[in-house]
Structures are given as C-alpha cells and as structure tokens.
Amino acid sequence: MKLLVTGGTGYIGSHTCVELLQAGHAVVIADNLSNSSSAVLERIARIAGKAPAFHKLDLRDAQGLQALLQRNPVAAVMHFAGVKAVAESVADPLKYYDNNVNGSLTLFAAMREFGVKRVVFSSSATVYGAQAVSPIGERAATAPANPYGRTKLMIEEMLRDLCTADPEFRAVALRYFNPVGAHVSGLIGEAPQGTPNNLMPYICQVAAGKLPELRVFGKDYPTKDGTAIRDYLHVTDLARGHVQALDYLERVPGFSAVNLGTGRGTSVLEMLQTFERVNQVRVPWKSADRRPGDTVITYADPALAGTALNWRTQRTLEDMCRDAWRWQKSGLAD
C-alpha cells in the first residue's frame, strides 16, 4: 500500500515509517520540520533498507497538500503531525487549535477531494478525564483537561462525523498511553527541544550529566511507593500498532477509538530504579511538589487492541530503559 504519513520525521512517526517500510508499504512523508530534522530520513532508510519519499509541507497549506495528493495517489493516511506540549497549549491555545484542528481539517478536506478514505490518527489517553478509573477502557467518559487534549478530542469527533457522512470513509483513533524508548538500532529516537517535560527523556539527560537531578513530582500519592503511576509502552510496539490498524481498517467500517498501552502501571521510582539497574548508571533524584494537573494512576485496558487489532506489547520496561539510554548515548539525540 502507498501511504501518506504526516509528521513522519517526528518521534513516533519515524518509528512507524520504519515498521511500515519493513512491512512492504511505500511511504510518503509530509512534515514541516517544526519539531524534527530531515536528517532522520537517511536513518529510517538505513534501518528499513528502503527510503521514504519526503515533502517539506505544512498541513495548513491546502494547495501544497492537494498538489502532493495529486502526484501521489495514496490508499491511506497516517496522521501524526501536530503540536503536543500540554503547558504550551494552556499558554497559547490558538497555536494548538490552529496547528492541530485546522491542520487536520485541511488534511481531511484534501483527502475527500482526492478520494482517500482511510486514516489512522494519533490520539492520546489525555482525552480521558482526570476522573477516569484505571484500567481505562475506551468507553470511559472523555473530558480532556487542557487545550492540547481538547484538540485531540475535536479531531476524533471530526473523524466520527466524516464516517457518518460517508459510509466508505473509515478512521481509527489510536489513544496512546506513555510512549518511551527508541529504536533498538540506536539510530532514531526522541529528540526534545530544550529541557524535557516527560519522565524518560529527563531521566536520560540526568544520566548523561546534562541535567543535575530528577525531581520526582509527588512522593505522597496513595500508591505503593508514593509516586504516580503510568502505562509506559515501547515506541516500536506502538509503531507496530499502526501497521495493525491499517489491516483493521480493511476489515472494519466506520470510526473506532482504540487504546494502545500495556495494561500495566509503573511508578516513577520503579522506572528510575529499572533504568539505573539495566544501564548500570546513576540517576540522582530528589522529591518535589506534585506537578499541577497530574493524575495519580493512569493505565490502559488494552483488551480491544488485542481482539480488534490483534496487537499487544512485546517489549518490557527493561527494553524501554535500555533502548532509551542507547539512543541518548549515540549523540544523535542532541
């Protein structure tokens, strides 16, 4: 199948391009490089043995998108492109509504014009409200707590409405829990700009001596060691979920939302200790206040992904820590 991958030079998109190419698909990437580098293209090709096509394009450029789809008849779209920093979305909501919602609207309109009727969308567990009780199933109420999460839900609703309007249009929204780690080759991974907000890249930078210590946000939560619990999954497992979602769309009409997670909760201290143990490296840390807006315990019920997509995670927390550290040490993360 020939596919358009928006945001394909980014963290999750680049890992998915590798899996798509290795599964025999042809890949055309559209990315404006606002949070990634074209240097990743050659590394995707090195791992997969095949190169993706690349077009530097902003999704809000309707004419550019139309020209791209005219020249590249694609069977489906994998839609990763978007901005994703929660705190920035609170400070500058219009940036998020413009980039994520407008960008998606422009993309879906171009798809309609060129008769492309399959889309896999990067959604997030952040669409569930803070009240959701773990394990969280897809039927849990949605109530995102910030503008970023609201853009994800709005895009899901747009896709749901498109599927109702056109019975041939099919969409699956994959609700990711906490993707971490890097490709086992050490050639691609997450390259956050500035100081990282998320736990795993922060741990990596402390271990590498770039940051002095990890602040553990909250030590008095009602959990076994007092720190908050999340469902971390390896980015390669996540990428494979997208390949499975493509097969699923061939079989199942309409709109679906599917969680991608392990179904297991890991605390901040467990993550830290696992990282130190498997990598034989010290990660100094200290307790800090709870981070505003954080949930205590969030992990997935991934049963639907198992039955519908025939997907489950294969990589362990140890794999995630080992691969993240290999990528950090490669020097390519900087």
Say which entry of ligand NAD, ligand UD1, none residue 36 contacts (CB below 5 to 8 A, set by partner kind): ligand NAD
Determine whether 96 is an active site residue: no
| DSSP codes of every residue in 110-162 | HHHHTT--EEEEEEEGGGB-TTPPSSBPTTSPB--SSHHHHHHHHHHHHHHHH
Say which entry of ligand NAD, ligand UD1, none residue 35 contacts (CB below 5 to 8 A, set by partner kind): ligand NAD
Say which entry of ligand UD1, ligand NAD, none residue 199 contacts (CB below 5 to 8 A, set by partner kind): ligand UD1
Q: Which two tokens stand for residue 104?
A: 């998606």
Instruction: Report the residue number, 41 or 125, with the smaller CB distance to ligand UD1.
Output: 125
Binding site for ligand UD1 (CB under 6 A): 86, 124, 126, 178, 197-199, 202, 214-217, 228, 230, 268, 291, 293-294
- The H or E element containing residue 176 is strand 170-176
CB 230, CB 178: distance < 8 Å: yes
Instruction: Report the residue number, 93 or 254, with the smaller CB distance to ligand UD1.
Output: 93
Instruction: Report the residue number, 214 or 243, with the smaller CB distance to ligand UD1.
Output: 214
Q: Which two tokens stand for residue 173?
A: 């929204």
Q: Shortest approach of ligand NAD to residue 86 CB, angstroms?
A: 10
DSSP 290: P
Binding site for ligand NAD (CB under 6 A): 7, 9-13, 31-36, 58-60, 80-84, 99, 103, 122, 124, 176, 179
Which one from 11, 96, 128, 148 is the annotated catalytic residue? 148
Cβ-proximal residue to ligand NAD, closest one: 10
CA 275 → CA 192, 199, 206, 325, distances in Å?
Answer: 19, 11, 11, 8
Q: Shortest approach of ligand UD1 to residue 227 CB, angstroms?
A: 7
Say which entry of ligand UD1, ligand NAD, none residue 170 contacts (CB below 5 to 8 A, set by partner kind): none
Say which entry of ligand UD1, ligand NAD, none residue 294 contacts (CB below 5 to 8 A, set by partner kind): ligand UD1
Rg (CA), the chain: 19
Instruction: Report the residue number, 21 or 216, with the smaller CB distance to ligand UD1.
Output: 216
Q: How far apart are CA 318 and CA 320, in angstroms?
A: 5
Residue 118, C-beta contacts closer than 8 angstroms, at least 6 positions apart: 75, 76, 77, 170, 171, 246, 249
Instruction: Report the residue number, 106 or 295, with the smaller CB distance to ligand UD1.
Output: 295
CB 5, CB 29: distance < 8 Å: yes
Enumerate the active-site residues: 148
